[in-house]
Structure 1
Amino acid sequence: MLSRILPAPGSGRILALATLLMTMGQGAFMTCSALYFTTVAGLSATEWGLGLTIAGAVGLFAGIPLGHLADRKGPRGTTAVLVALNGAAAAGYLFVGTFAQFLLAASAFIVLERGSRAALQAAIAGTLGGADLVATRAYLRSVTNVGAAVGAGLAGVALQLGSPAALRTVLVLDAVSFLASGLVLTALPAVPPAPKAAGEHRLAVLRDRPFALVTVLSAILSLHAVLLEVVIPLWIARHTDAPRWMVTVLFLLNTASVVAFQVRIAKGVPDLPRAVRATRLAGFVLAAACVLFAASATHAALLSAVFLLLAGGVHAYGEMVFSAAAWTIGFGLAPPHRQGQYQGFFFTGYAVAVMIAPTCLTVTVIKGGALGWLVPAVLFVAAGLALRPVVAWAERNRAEPSPIPSG
């Protein structure tokens, strides 16, 4: 079992340990955050939601300049510092007592989170190479799911106690997890800063139109995350007679699938040609999941549950195929000395999708009923098909060869 979620000793194992620490802390914090801010910090539910929305907008593009900083100063040290500062920002939540204080703390946290994520991708690309790069990214995704699940389980103790002291303890543990993760990351091999080429634009990614279009299409395919987290719980409650606990079953199915199969699937997508084919497959698979979710709108509880399980399994497979392909494409199209800013831009596309998708998909699917599932289904297929010519355009536009072999 451990061989499925932990890479071999070395840089990959260090990255896995750092990721496990971070995600355990974040899993615990996210489980308790709503209760903490509305009962201990004294915010209203509206203030909490509005503050998160504003903070998300403030930090939306932070990954690009902070990723660029990692390219220029060296990704290992930059990542370690940003992750540690993320812990300090998490500790800042302990002192929130007003909406303004929450907005300041949340904005700092999200800016540092986006920046550290971009820097971490640059560290992964600088430390590893070829197929190891994408395979390690798959290991880290498996570890992320395990860490978040363990953290959520630990948070359950605090929720059961329900006292302010118990909830504050979760925040302290979250802050410590970031600090410990930053310390672990210093054990990575040093990656030299990338020199600035003469006449090179400071943020070259902003002028790379093919990569921008790749990012947009990848963001559309990334809507699968919003389906599971936001749309499906509402769909089950309002459009099916399946028991409400099917939401938990589908989350567990997704988590177990990623832990068991993500690394294996990623190893089958080691280069750009196969990644392009994988995105096309992912588009059709995710569309099929949408059709199965639509079919679950029946008054027969057992039949609804069967369709939901089938849809959840198909959705998990499409998600894993697309994730592996996206890592290969994102790393492969970025110039080696600009990985930080390119990965920061790539993750910005995902952040934008996650920010606007809940409203759009809730309107189309929850209000539109079974026919509403046609909207994401068509989007998935169209984006999967469109990526092939766009990736080819981006390859022609690259000034440097890909760090991932193309054969």
Structure 2
Amino acid sequence: MTPLPTSTARPLRRDSRRGLAQAQFANSVGDGAYLVVSAFYFAKVVGLPPAQIGLGLTVGWAAGMLAGVPLGHLADRRGPRGVAVALAVATAAAVAAFALVRSFEAFLLVACLYGIAQTGLSAARQALLAALVPPAGRTAARAVLQSTLNGGLAVGAGLGGVALWLDTPAGYTALFALDAAGFLVAAALLLRLPAVRPAPAPATGSRLGVLRDRPYALVTLINAVLLFYMPLLSVVVPLWIAGRTSAPSWAVATLLLINTGGVLLFQVRVARRVRDLREACSSVRVAGLVMLAACAVFALAPYGWPFLLLGAALLVGGEMLLAAGSWEIGFGLAPDDRQGQYQGFFGTGTAVARMLGPAVLTALVLDGGTAGWLVIGAMFATAGAAMAPAVRWASARSGSAEAT
């Protein structure tokens, strides 16, 4: 198979689109199960205290954040398909190793391997998509993959629920094996995609030029602030429900269902409205306002738990608007021959949100109550409004279409 050049993406063939989606689904099923059962497994089977679990996962994602740019650069220089396959296999090895750890030291080591492999895999996949898909179709293609991801996570979460019901070491271990197998299947599916010719090394300047690109760094920081929405439904809202409302315990599952179902059904439609940087900035700006509204509604939950349902619906709307806009921005401002390292850097926002979001947002909500919710919402609205000026600065430096 003749490798495709990295600088001129060809129209995405139907079998390539199917391969990308199948690979996404294969590992997302296992990821959904892992997200549901991992904390219980590490606490009950491995015997780690909650503080050590939190520390290990934080250090692991920190390692991943640091490795994202170098691994993205490796994808640019060695070809994103091969690097993505290798990192999918590495992730499978890390997940399998989780089932064998019996000490904090081993857990910490494996958590670092997992965080590094996952973050690098995301950057390499983004670079592969950028090489296979013309610029005008990247956001739409990314939306399809995101919908596929949420479908897989929902299936995996259901399997995780069965394992929690059984509550046996064998049941938990089986799901770790399922997650590892899913990444191996994803590696095999990625290997069937067209190869991409590695990008030539830059003649001048730093090999990791993204680290010197201050406008892109600002855009990435703003996106990271907006990504703090990620722990809201998984950590902050459940604690708010338990401590401040009379909502039934199954309300948490209902909110997660609204979120995954909303993305699965509507993300592609939302992404179709974003076709350039101007529309992307508008989408992010509206996302910040919708997230502000969601936070204000969540603050009303003590007065009636149906407010939780409305808040979840608003939050998933903001999430989809943010995703569509940020994908277009992240791809559009990155040089074609350095998509890997730029996507690796842009992806550090996810690691930052996973590391800092739970502690920061929980402190604001549980200590501040309604005022804390409004502070969080104002943070989202401010970041959303700041994205357009930052993109204008970055696009002026890169020569991209100007945002307004």
Shorter-chain TM-score: which interval? Answer: over 0.9
Partner of 1:60, secondary structure, is helix
Identify unmatched segments of 5+ residues in structure 2: 1-11
Shift of 1:401: 4.9
Q: Are 2:18 and 1:10 equivalent residues in the alignment? A: no
Question: What is residue 257 of structure 1 aligned with on the other side?
Answer: 262
Q: Deviations over 1:95-129 (max 9, x none)?
A: 21211111111111111111111111100111112
- C-alpha separation in 1, matches of 2:172 and 2:18: 31
Q: Are 2:108 and 1:103 equivalent residues in the alignment? A: yes
Alignment of 1:236-247 (within 5 A): 236-247=241-252
Question: What is residue 159 of structure 1 aligned with on the other side?
Answer: 164
Partner of 1:367, secondary structure, is helix
* 8 Å contact from structure 1 (residues 282, 319) kept in 2: yes
Question: What is residue 284 of structure 1 aligned with on the other side?
Answer: 289
* 8 Å contact from structure 2 (residues 64, 351) kept in 1: no
Q: Which amino acid aligns with 1:89?
A: A
Alignment of 1:288-327 (within 5 A): 288-298=293-303, 304-327=304-327
Partner of 2:203, secondary structure, is coil
In structure 2, the CA distance between the partners of 1:36 and 1:309, relative to structure 1 (3 Å rule), is closer
Alignment of 1:82-101 (within 5 A): 82-101=87-106
- C-alpha separation in 2, matches of 1:325 and 1:344: 17
In structure 2, the CA distance between the partners of 1:352 and 1:193, relative to structure 1 (3 Å rule), is same
Partner of 1:202, secondary structure, is coil
Shift of 1:392: 0.5
Question: What is residue 344 of structure 1 aligned with on the other side?
Answer: 344
- C-alpha separation in 2, matches of 1:280 and 1:401: 19
Question: What is residue 392 of structure 1 aligned with on the other side?
Answer: 392
Question: What is residue 362 of structure 1 aligned with on the other side?
Answer: 362
Question: What is residue 301 of structure 1 aligned with on the other side?
Answer: none
- C-alpha separation in 2, matches of 1:173 and 1:199: 46
Partner of 2:66, secondary structure, is coil
Q: Which amino acid aligns with 2:331?
A: F
Q: Are 2:212 and 1:212 equivalent residues in the alignment? A: no
Q: Which amino acid aligns with 1:110?
A: G
Q: Are 2:195 and 1:172 equivalent residues in the alignment? A: no
TM-score where L is the length of structure 1? 0.92
In structure 2, the CA distance between the partners of 1:233 and 1:162, relative to structure 1 (3 Å rule), is closer
1:182 to 179, 187, 197: 187
Shift of 1:232: 0.9
Q: Deviations over 1:178-209 (max 9, x none)?
A: 11100100111111111112113110000000
Q: Deviations over 1:267-310 (max 9, x none)?
A: 10111110011111111111111111112232xxxxx1232222
* 8 Å contact from structure 2 (residues 270, 324) kept in 1: yes
Question: What is residue 379 of structure 1 aligned with on the other side?
Answer: 379
Shift of 1:313: 1.1
Q: Which amino acid aligns with 1:147?
A: G
In structure 2, the CA distance between the partners of 1:40 and 1:117, relative to structure 1 (3 Å rule), is same
In structure 2, the CA distance between the partners of 1:389 and 1:401, relative to structure 1 (3 Å rule), is closer
In structure 2, the CA distance between the partners of 1:353 and 1:36, relative to structure 1 (3 Å rule), is closer
- C-alpha separation in 1, matches of 2:248 and 2:99: 38
Partner of 2:202, secondary structure, is coil
- C-alpha separation in 2, matches of 1:297 and 1:190: 54
- C-alpha separation in 2, matches of 1:42 and 1:237: 25
Identify unmatched segments of 5+ residues in structure 1: 1-6, 299-303
Alignment of 1:104-143 (within 5 A): 104-143=109-148
Shift of 1:214: 0.4
Partner of 1:10, secondary structure, is helix
- C-alpha separation in 2, matches of 1:72 and 1:379: 38
Shift of 1:49: 2.3
Q: Deviations over 1:223-280 (max 9, x none)?
A: 1212222111111222222223222111111111111100000010111110011111
Alignment RMSD: 1.9
Question: What is residue 81 of structure 1 aligned with on the other side?
Answer: 86
Question: What is residue 331 of structure 1 aligned with on the other side?
Answer: 331
